[in-house]
């Protein structure tokens, strides 16, 4: 992403303004030739002691803990629910997880939060979804992203972040794809490791997920994963996280077996071959492994390598305590030893990150790492750097933008031309779906794409939604209190305690000032429908509760619904659902004034509006309606209630009319995260937009093209979506779920203030019939051929996932993706030349080339290095026809050239040998190609990869590389950072200790 000025841009809406870098007062971009992002060299995890986890501090603590206290660290619970042993977080922040501490020994309780921004009951910055951010191919951006999330978490009393998620995107419609990184293991490894370093540089712990071979498959059906694919694809990003010094790992819900290495399938958290043999023994990982919530299976998970469980009872005082208490008749030394090891791993990471309160620890046992914990601390001050989050979220959203199609220069838009804006995600910013993320600051999420576009082009931008999820207030002349229609409005009945009163409201407009918390309200009367058709009927009301206890976190403002709403039509109750719940939780930004909704002040990210609706086929005439509303007695804001409607066909016709009369139609669509959930009913289908959105695009396209105008589609999706209309539109811009600054980022990209520079880290299939799953039911839901005892999911594609499958021999019909891995256009174009590639003595390859911005716009190009197979690998080792082994992100001014040098490591040129259980270097002639995408290769050559001439022991526990030539020695692999001298540690470079002890949550001041 490179920014440039565009005539017509304005900066004038204050907090409600569109937020380009200019209007925010951002520091100017670095000049061409200089890296625009910060140097991430200082963003690194704390070092690891050579004797970890058994430092003197840890050993002293463990020696003094009772068996019950050991369980306190081995059990985790939902923050807002009773712990499995009956304990509730005494100071819940509405974060995800809570783990008890041992105050007498200076061991703090810890709070865990999800990682796409901090989700707690106070406002925090919302960032783009991780798959979108990965499109930046920007290592530095991931370092900064991790740092910002870590800083926010520290200021919100969090201790551990559940992230990054580095699962390989295999199943195209799994809803968790949006929080993953790529279908390619190298991309996932590189970007995930940088996020870890960023988070942990702030003093918070990162927890990578998930171990392993997890893509939303049915968790109760065993996945059989070939050994080579398991190591090269699914374990590789987890191994990279271990090398980056991640504090802990989360095992998945999946049941799997590595074929050739394990005798039978097991749940991940019960799989000793995976957790103990590979992660802890082979990799030498000194951190701990915890279950996903509810992912534990039995108390014996402890012996398999699981150290901590969440929301199950396998490590409870009833189940595990008798096995580890020497006074118990059921005492089992195996379990007692394993429990001590688990507690040691947890405590070591607490020590490593300085969480302990060493005022409770004798001086002789204190850590050389400065400890800043304070188990008596009760400070709840929240000091989020909102401005820093705004700036970072905007830059990340703009770097995430992928221009998928641009025929005839339809983009960027000319601010002097008229634009009609359609679609639901233009007037409701789709910051990010789901619950594992921050919702953003209300005044920022209210900067919708429509508002931001108007800040650039003014009244040349008009709105014709086509699909209206807000609706307009049902007018008084469409409501009558009696069947004869003599009294306009609806009859309101107010019940407070046992007293009821009645009155008449002309319209239910959400502007009430006399509704009170704790009372109940109903409105009865008749709705006059003007014509036959489908109508969306909507009820809207505020959200959130506040107990008034200012001593609690965020003044005890909570994310709970403060109301219930009901609707009956013609005497029949109808189900109300949130039509945009997946697009924008709580439906309305805190400061919404769209469609006449009254502005509210709000306190915290949860005080937006709830939107509950139904779509009904109604005939023209009068229909009896009854509305109900019961605001909570501790509602955080003054209760209001709005009854709105949206005639569906009328909205579509208005959009068609606008398309005929405007130079460009910009249609905004989203997939609403309507894809496969976790572990149940998996589908290999590629996600689709809702039928009404596909219809909107087709109707608008026909109307616009019939009048000689253009159509641009802006897609907000969590992953790949089918686009049956793609060939008919002029441009497609993928903005993913772009976070709280997504409105401004979208407008800036559409108008060329920011050049789109993102590239896809996944393939976009054209349809569900052209993927590796088509014709292979065993790869998705599983099969049970005759003679097999159970149904299993067989990952028979091996290494050929994503772009590799399209290039594989199995793709006999020559299917090409709609948009290939690595694809992404720009408003400029780049020339690759002066290229060379040579083998290096360490078994790698150096690639050198020149890239020139040959257009008239500054931009950022992402050269990608691919290699072909080696002819010298032993029989039995599979190879993908092509694989990504390196990439870079190069910022260029218009007309500027830069030399780019990239090193491909021996590890990336190696394959996993199932027979020898080690990495084997693919020597001999290899095709080396550099391109702008996997299907857009610009330069290539053949390089004779040399056997490595350096033998190195693998200090980090990763298996050494073995060259395919038996005469050459092993090649080293980067190891987990460690220090030679036991316990010779220091704090992280930008840790909370370095910030003057201003860390959050039970920290000494």
27-41: pLDDT as tens digits? 332 333 333 333 444
Question: So what's the pLDDT on residue 397?
Answer: 98
Question: So what's the pLDDT on residue 198?
Answer: 97
971 contacts 843 by C-beta, under 8 angstroms: yes
Task: State the number of CA atoms in the 13 A half-sphere of 1003 facing the CB.
Answer: 30
pLDDT tens digits, residue range 149-189?
999 999 989 999 999 999 999 988 887 888 899 999 999 99
563 pLDDT band (50/70/90 cuts)? low
Integer Cα distance of 677 and 332 in angstroms = 39
Question: So what's the pLDDT on residue 302?
Answer: 98
Mean pLDDT of 396-422: 98
Nearest Cα neighbor of 414 from 460, 465, 464, 463 is 460
Element containing residue 505 per DSSP (H, E): strand 499-505
284 pLDDT band (50/70/90 cuts)? very high
pLDDT tens digits, residue range 793-841?
999 999 999 999 999 999 999 999 999 999 999 999 999 999 999 999 9
How does DSSP classify residue 478? G
Looking at the predicted structure, is the pLDDT value of residue 730 above 60?
yes
Question: So what's the pLDDT on residue 681?
Answer: 54
Integer Cα distance of 743 and 402 in angstroms = 15
Q: To 10 degrees, the CA torsion angle through 949, 950, 954, 960? A: 0
Mean pLDDT of 479-504: 95
Mean pLDDT of 313-340: 96
426 pLDDT band (50/70/90 cuts)? very high
Mean pLDDT of 527-549: 86
928 pLDDT band (50/70/90 cuts)? very high
Integer Cα distance of 499 and 496 in angstroms = 5
Give me the chain's average pLDDT, please: 86
How does DSSP classify residue 107? B
412 pLDDT band (50/70/90 cuts)? very high
pLDDT tens digits, residue range 761-800?
999 999 999 999 999 999 999 999 999 999 999 999 999 9
More confident residue, 295 or 581: 295
* Residue showing tokens 């629910």: 81
Mean pLDDT of 666-679: 71
Beta bridge partners of 755: 2
Question: So what's the pLDDT on residue 553?
Answer: 64
612 pLDDT band (50/70/90 cuts)? confident
14 pLDDT band (50/70/90 cuts)? very low
Integer Cα distance of 51 and 270 in angstroms = 27
Nearest Cα neighbor of 23 from 36, 38, 13, 33 is 13
Sheet containing strand 924-933, strands side by side: 883-887, 864-867, 924-933, 936-945
Mean pLDDT of 574-601: 45
Quote the percentage of the chain above a pLDDT of 70: 82
More confident residue, 669 or 88: 669
Mean pLDDT of 726-739: 97
Domains delineated in the chain: 2-37+389-468+651-806 (3.40.50.1700), 40-365 (3.20.20.300), 472-646 (2.60.120.260), 830-963 (2.60.40.10)
Integer Cα distance of 437 and 153 in angstroms = 12
Question: Cβ-count burial of 728 within 10 angstroms (0-12 exposed, 13-18 middle, 19+ buried)?
Answer: middle
More confident residue, 378 or 285: 285
Kindly report the number of other CB atoms within 10 A of residue 659's CB atom.
Answer: 27
Mean pLDDT of 249-260: 95
Q: How many helices and strands (H and E) does the chain possess?
A: 20, 45
Q: Where are the alpha helices (DSSP H) in 640-798?
A: 648-661, 691-706, 742-750
Q: To 10 degrees, the CA torsion angle through 316, 318, 324, 326? A: 150
| Cα 325 to Cα 85, 268, 340, distances in angstroms | 17, 27, 11
Question: So what's the pLDDT on residue 80?
Answer: 58
Mean pLDDT of 897-920: 97
Question: So what's the pLDDT on residue 439?
Answer: 76
More confident residue, 681 or 578: 578
84 pLDDT band (50/70/90 cuts)? low
Mean pLDDT of 335-358: 98
Give the contacts of 529 (CB within 8 A, at least 6 positions apart): 478, 535, 618, 619, 620, 621, 622, 623
Mean pLDDT of 922-930: 98
- Total residues found in the chain within this entry: 1005
Region of poorest pLDDT, from 47-51, 210-214, 394-398, 408-412: 210-214
Quote the percentage of the chain above a pLDDT of 90: 70
Mean pLDDT of 627-645: 88
Looking at the predicted structure, is the pLDDT value of residue 583 above 80?
no
Question: So what's the pLDDT on residue 409?
Answer: 96
Looking at the predicted structure, is the pLDDT value of residue 999 above 90?
no
Region of poorest pLDDT, from 484-498, 545-559, 570-584, 891-905: 545-559
Cα dihedral sign, 852-856-862-868: negative
Looking at the predicted structure, is the pLDDT value of residue 77 above 90?
no
318 contacts 68 by C-beta, under 8 angstroms: no
Region of poorest pLDDT, from 80-84, 487-491, 754-758: 80-84
Cis peptide before 212 (omega within 30 of 0): yes
Element containing residue 323 per DSSP (H, E): helix 321-324
pLDDT tens digits, residue range 98-136?
999 999 999 999 999 988 888 777 778 999 999 999 999
Give the contacts of 305 (CB within 8 A, at least 6 positions apart): 271, 272, 274, 275, 276, 279, 280, 289
319 contacts 991 by C-beta, under 8 angstroms: no
Question: So what's the pLDDT on residue 218?
Answer: 85
Integer Cα distance of 414 and 9 in angstroms = 11
Give the contacts of 788 (CB within 8 A, at least 6 positions apart): none
Tokens of 24: 């925010």
Mean pLDDT of 365-381: 85
């Amino acid at each position: 992403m490179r920014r440039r000025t565009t005539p017509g841009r304005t900066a004038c809406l204050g907090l409600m303004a569109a937020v380009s870098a200019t209007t925010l007062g951002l520091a100017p971009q670095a000049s061409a030739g200089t890296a625009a992002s910060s140097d991430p060299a200082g963003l690194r995890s704390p070092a690891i002691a050579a004797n970890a986890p058994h430092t003197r501090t840890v050993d002293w603590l463990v020696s003094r803990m009772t068996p019950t206290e050991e369980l306190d660290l081995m059990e985790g619970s939902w923050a807002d629910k009773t712990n499995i042993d009956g304990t509730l977080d005494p100071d819940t922040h509405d974060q995800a997880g809570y783990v008890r501490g041992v105050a007498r020994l200076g061991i703090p309780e810890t709070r865990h939060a999800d990682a796409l921004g901090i989700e707690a009951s106070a406002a925090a910055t919302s960032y783009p979804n991780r798959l979108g951010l990965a499109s930046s191919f920007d290592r530095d951006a991931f370092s900064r992203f991790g740092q910002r999330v870590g800083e926010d978490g520290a200021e919100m009393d969090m201790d551990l972040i559940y992230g990054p998620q580095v699962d390989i995107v295999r199943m195209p419609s799994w809803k968790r794809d949006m929080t993953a990184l790529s279908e390619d293991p190298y991309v996932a490894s590189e970007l995930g490791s940088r996020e870890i370093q960023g988070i942990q540089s702030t003093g918070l712990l990162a927890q990578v997920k998930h171990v392993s071979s997890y893509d939303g498959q049915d968790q109760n059906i065993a996945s059989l994963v070939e050994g080579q694919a398991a190591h090269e694809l699914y374990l590789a990003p987890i191994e990279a996280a271990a090398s980056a010094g991640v504090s802990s790992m989360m095992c998945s819900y999946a049941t799997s077996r590595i074929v050739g290495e394990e005798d039978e399938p097991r749940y991940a958290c019960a799989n000793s071959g995976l957790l103990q043999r590979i992660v802890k023994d082979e990799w030498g990982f000194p951190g701990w492994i915890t279950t996903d919530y509810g992912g534990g299976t039995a108390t014996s998970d402890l012996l398999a390598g699981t150290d901590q469980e969440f929301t199950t009872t396998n490590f409870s005082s009833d189940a595990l305590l008798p096995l580890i208490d020497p006074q118990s008749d059921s005492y089992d030394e195996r379990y007692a030893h394993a429990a001590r090891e688990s507690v040691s791993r947890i405590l070591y990471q607490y020590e490593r990150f300085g969480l302990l309160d060493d005022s409770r620890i004798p001086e002789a046992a204190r850590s050389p790492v400065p400890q800043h914990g304070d188990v008596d601390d009760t400070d709840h001050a929240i000091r989020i750097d909102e401005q820093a989050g705004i700036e970072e979220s905007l830059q990340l959203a703009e770097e995430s933008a992928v221009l998928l199609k641009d025929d005839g220069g339809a983009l960027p838009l000319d601010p002097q031309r008229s634009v009609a804006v359609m679609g639901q995600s233009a007037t409701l910013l789709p910051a990010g779906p789901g619950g594992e993320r921050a919702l953003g600051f209300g005044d920022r999420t209210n900067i919708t794409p429509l508002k931001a576009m108007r800040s650039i082009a003014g009244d040349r931008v008009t709105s014709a939604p086509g699909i209206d999820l807000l609706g307009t207030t049902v007018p008084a002349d469409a409501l009558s209190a009696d069947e004869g229609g003599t009294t306009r409005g609806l009859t309101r009945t107010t019940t407070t305690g046992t007293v009821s009163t009645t009155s008449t409201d002309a319209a239910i407009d959400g502007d009430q000032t006399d509704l009170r918390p704790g009372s109940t309200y109903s409105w009865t009367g008749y709705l006059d429908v003007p014509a036959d058709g489908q109508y969306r009927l909507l009820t809207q009301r505020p959200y959130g509760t506040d107990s008034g206890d200012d001593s609690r976190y965020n003044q005890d403002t909570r994310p709970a619904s403060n109301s219930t709403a009901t609707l009956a039509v013609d005497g029949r109750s109808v189900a109300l659902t949130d039509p945009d719940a997946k697009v924008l939780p709580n439906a309305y930004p805190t400061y919404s004034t769209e469609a006449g909704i009254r502005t509210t002040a709000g306190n915290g990210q949860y005080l937006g509006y709830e939107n509950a609706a139904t779509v009904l086929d109604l005939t023209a005439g009068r229909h009896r309606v009854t509305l109900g509303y019961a605001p909570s007695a501790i509602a955080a804001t003054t209760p209001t209630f709005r009854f709105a409607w949206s005639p569906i066909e009328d909205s579509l016709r208005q959009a068609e009319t606008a398309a005929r009369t405007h130079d460009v139609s910009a249609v905004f669509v989203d997939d609403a995260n309507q894809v496969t959930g976790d572990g149940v009913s998996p589908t290999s289908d590629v996600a689709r937009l809702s039928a009404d959105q596909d219809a909107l695009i087709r109707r608008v396209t026909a109307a616009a093209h019939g009048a000689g105008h253009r159509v641009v589609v802006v897609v907000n999706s969590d992953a790949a979506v089918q686009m049956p209309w793609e060939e008919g539109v002029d441009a497609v811009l993928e903005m993913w779920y772009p976070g709280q600054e997504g409105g401004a980022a979208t407008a800036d990209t559409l108008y060329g203030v920011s050049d789109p520079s993102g590239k896809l880290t996944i393939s976009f299939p054209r349809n569900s019939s052209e993927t590796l799953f088509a014709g292979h039911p065993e790869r998705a839901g599983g099969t049970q051929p005759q003679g097999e005892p159970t149904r299993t999911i067989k990952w028979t594609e091996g290494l050929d996932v994503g772009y590799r499958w399209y290039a594989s021999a199995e793709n006999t019909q020559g299917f090409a993706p709609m948009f290939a891995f690595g694809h992404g256009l720009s408003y400029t174009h780049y020339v690759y030349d002066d290229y060379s590639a040579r083998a290096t003595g360490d078994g790698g390859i150096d690639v050198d080339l020149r890239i020139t911005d040959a257009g008239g716009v500054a931009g950022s190009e992402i050269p990608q290095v691919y290699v072909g197979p080696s002819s010298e690998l032993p029989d039995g080792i599979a190879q993908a026809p092509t694989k990504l082994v390196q990439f870079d992100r190069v910022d260029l001014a218009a007309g500027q050239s830069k030399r780019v040098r990239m090193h491909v490591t021996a590890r990336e040129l190696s394959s996993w040998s199932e027979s020898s259980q080690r990495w084997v270097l693919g020597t001999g002639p290899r095709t080396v190609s550099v391109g702008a995408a996997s299907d857009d290769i610009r330069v290539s050559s053949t390089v004779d990869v040399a056997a490595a001439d350096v033998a190195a022991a693998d200090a980090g526990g990763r298996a050494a590389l073995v060259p395919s030539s038996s005469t050459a020695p092993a090649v080293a692999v980067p190891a987990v950072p460690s220090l030679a001298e036991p316990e010779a540690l220091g704090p992280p470079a930008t840790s909370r200790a370095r910030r003057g002890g201003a860390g959050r949550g039970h920290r000494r001041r």
